[in-house]
Chains A and B, each alone.
Chain A
Amino acid sequence: MATRTDFGPPYFRDMLPPVIQKNYGEWKYHERIKPGVLKHVAESGDELWTVRAGSPRLVSTDWIRDVCDIADRFCDGYLRFTSRHNVEFLLADAARVEPLISYLNEHGLPVGGTGHSITNPVHTQGWIHCHTPATDASGIVKAVMDELFDYFGSWRLPALCRVSLACCLNMCGAVHCSDVAILGIHRKPPAINHDLVRAKCEIPNVIAACPTGAIRPDPKTKSLIVNEDKCMYCGNCYTMCPGMPLADATGDGISIWVGGKVSSARTPPKFSRLVIPFLPNTPPRWPETTAAVRNIIETWARHGRKHERMGEWIDRIGWERFFDLTGIEFAEQLIDDFTLAPETYRSTPTFKW
């Protein structure tokens, strides 16, 4: 039998609930009923209820079958997922919403993640399945969300809050525009294995992979030399060559970035900015990281105005005030010295004490 290829994903229209089939593209408005619950109303007057629940992202087939059972029981067999790993149960019948929520609560599926809440963190694989991580992913997210759980199912924040985690600078999932980004970093140059470099690596490609030009060929050893003063441990060379490993139990850890956003509401998308250059890897619950994230979010929650995202709040009060209010020590690594650095320096004497 010839293998079938290039037939594409299952066609979504075959899997839409009847209320969506009928009202496709004809939605009129929606109401945010309570955290985790949306009600969309079509021009026809039909209602579509959505109940959003958090998932651990790394799930077994048993879990998928569990949510299928729930969808069969309450939603005629239809469900969807969000771009942030939440599962959404879609119902046409308002009477089934509260029984569904009770059932989800009883079965450990937290309802929330809409509106001015902390929704499910986007994250990467970490030690579970990645070959370049500087930290774990699922474990830190679990620890952080246990700590901030009440903000998932409530509307106690000034605006929505996107927490994201990437376990190295590759940033699968692109966390660089999050209200709070947790990013794994290395702090030691590659420990070169010359035999592996000679056996497995295309030397010119490894040299070209370095953003700071820190790598040069070593004709004597037919391998590579790293100018350690120029290395900022990004791991690009390791991506190209297994002979350049950076992972190190003492060198590796976490950095914290804040104030990014994706949507263009009010202000354009923004990058998150570095505020804590290093916290240690302390499994299984990473207490330094969870405390830092809680402090930042709760400081914003106390001082931010309604609808003001983390980065908009910081733009209003100034970074100097952010460090003052959060009590975070300003580290020298926060001063940019990469390619666009001058854009981040201040050219006016108008600042706050």
Chain B
Amino acid sequence: MTESDTPLLDELESGPWPSFVTEMKRAAEDKPAAKDLLLQLERSYVDRIGHWKHGGIVGVKGYGGGVIGRYSDLPEEFPAVAEFHTFRVNQPSGWFYNTQKLRELCDVWDKHGSGLTNMHGATGDIILLGAPTAALQPCFDDLAEVGFDLGGSGSDMRTPSCCVGPGRCEWACIDTLELLYDLTMTYQDQLHRPMFPYKSKMKISGCPNDCVAAIPRSDIAIIGAWRDRIRVDQAEVAAYAQAGLDIAGEVVALCPTACMTYDAAGRLTITDAECNRCMHCINVLPKALRPGVERGATILVGGKAPIVHGALLSWVIVPFMKIEPPYTELKELLDNIWAWWDENGRMRERLGELINRLGMRSFLKAVGLKPLPQMIKAPRANPYYFWDPEEVK
């Protein structure tokens, strides 16, 4: 019996959850880069520190982003990962595939790269992990041949993503899949050629459940919404009650606006004018309750992770907008937002941080939006506010 080169990682092959180490070993059977990646990772497990050098600019012809440079800091020991660059490949809307398309992708990646991928990265792209510099252009050419384009990186519009939407979900108040495809195609230049102060993320969810986490992690969040009444099927309400669901306790008592009643006759009544469309009752009773039919989206901006000045959740700037092809109103808004940010943003200043610095009032004025109570949790509690001298005459 030969002693393993990777005793620490081998321990992560046991246990019931699928093992990434097993995946690395499978790729390592015929890919020297995957083998050296495994060995370098084992070294990190011993040293308790990463072994990748800082950054590095690489790319393919015609693109300013989409490929991330990565170099080992132990290239003599692990020569097959001396250059180990990442492709971000733009995923199809809703991550829908057929097996033929996925196999074509695998064939290209087996030919040029490590055979290792993430399905998918957190932003939404297909991540192809690890190819040497010389392989980048040929790999991209072959990806293009089978219809896969690059995603975003650096100070550009990052690859947008969306939830499963009307492909499967009855709660989708907008066609997230088609809108995502349209915006991705409209903004190819912004996606592929970094020209902004910093990254700009956009995500689309079909309802306030927000399955792609648009509000916490995108500069521009488009969330499906309805404006009329929740559709109620009283027979199905009764069927849930019959089946033992505690409608008073699990649904009515948990309604955040107390806009529902459930009477002794088993009738669920919703005062829709007081409903804030949180989705809880619909989530619990999907067969009995459905979003209304007058549909559009709420648009929020400014969300981000901590770097540089702290994490932010996106803020409502448009309570309701109709979202229908060719999406002219939405695109005009996006263009105005990006233009203001581009004009005023400092290097590495995200949209939310710029709004914080210059003020929400300036932002709303610049992009031509009227202030509305739906935008705030509460009005200010301090007396430090400005007047335009023109208003004081």
Contact = CB atoms under 8 A, between A and B. Distances in A.
A8 interface: yes
Given A9-B184, A15-B98, A128-B37, A142 B20 contact: yes
B70 A129 contact: yes
A33 interface: no
B342 interface: no
A83 B52 contact: no
Which 3 A-B residue pairs are closest in the complex by CB-CB distance? A173-B122, A146-B15, A174-B217
Given A65-B103, A234-B306, A281-B48, 16 more contacts: A3-B61, A9-B91, A28-B170, A31-B286, A58-B118, A61-B27, A61-B115, A85-B119, A129-B52, A136-B41, A142-B19, A146-B17, A174-B304, A269-B210, A306-B250, A339-B309
Given A269-B216, A283-B45, A264 B15 contact: no
A5 B192 contact: yes
A283 B48 contact: yes
A8 B184 CA distance: 7
Which residue, A12, A78, A90, A109, has most C-beta atoms of chain B within 10 A? A12
B54 A131 contact: yes
Given A9-B148, A83-B211, A77 B98 contact: yes
A28 B288 CA distance: 10
A262 B216 contact: yes
Interface residues of A, number: 115
Contacts of B122: 122-124, 172-174
Nearest to B346: A208
Contacts, number: 354
Nearest to A173: B122
Contact of A9 (B19, B106, B181): B181
Determine the interface band of chain B, counting residues with CB < 8 A from chain A: 35 or more
B119 A57 contact: yes
Contact of A265 (B161, B167, B168, B279): B279
Interface string B1-45: 000000011011011111111111011000000100100010011
A86 to B, nearest CB: 10
Interface string A144-173: 011001001000000000000010011111
Contact of B141 (A3, A124, A146): A3
B176 to A, nearest CB: 10
Contacts of B163: 83
B364 to A, nearest CB: 21
Given A122-B122, A284-B12, A339-B310, A60 B172 contact: no
A79 interface: yes
A27 interface: yes
A138 B188 contact: no
Contacts of B37: 128
A35 to B, nearest CB: 14
A30 B283 CA distance: 10
B96 interface: yes
Contacts of A12: 92-94, 96, 167, 177, 181
Nearest to B201: A174
A29 B347 contact: no
B84 interface: yes
A295 interface: no
| Main SS class of interface, A | loop
A307 B52 contact: no
Interface stretch (A95-103, A222-230, A247-255, A319-327): A247-255
B15 A271 contact: no
B290 interface: yes
A92 interface: no
Contacts of A340: 310
6 contacts: A12-B93, A56-B20, A172-B121, A236-B307, A283-B48, A284-B11
Contacts of A124: 122
A10 interface: yes
B16 A146 contact: yes
B18 A109 contact: yes
A60 B23 contact: yes
Interface string A292-311: 00000000000000110000
B273 interface: no
A127 B311 contact: no
A242 interface: yes
Interface string B258-298: 00000000000000000000111001101100100000000
A15 B92 contact: yes
B82 to A, nearest CB: 14
A264 B208 contact: yes
B91 A63 contact: no
B309 A25 contact: no
A215 interface: no
A283 B100 contact: no
B20 A307 contact: no
A10 B83 CA distance: 28
B361 interface: no
Nearest to A261: B216
A170 B92 contact: no
B102 interface: yes
B236 to A, nearest CB: 8
A265 B49 contact: no
Contacts of A20: 167-168
Interface string B99-132: 1111101100110000111111111100001100
B348 A265 contact: no
Interface in B212-262: 212-213, 215-217, 236, 250, 254, 256
B200 interface: no
A277 interface: no
Nearest to A308: B254
Nearest to B108: A61
A8 B51 contact: no
B368 interface: no
A62 B26 CA distance: 7
A37 interface: no
A4 interface: yes
Nearest to B189: A6
B53 interface: yes
Contacts of A146: 14-17
B232 to A, nearest CB: 12
B117 to A, nearest CB: 6
A306 B306 CA distance: 32
A59 B99 contact: no
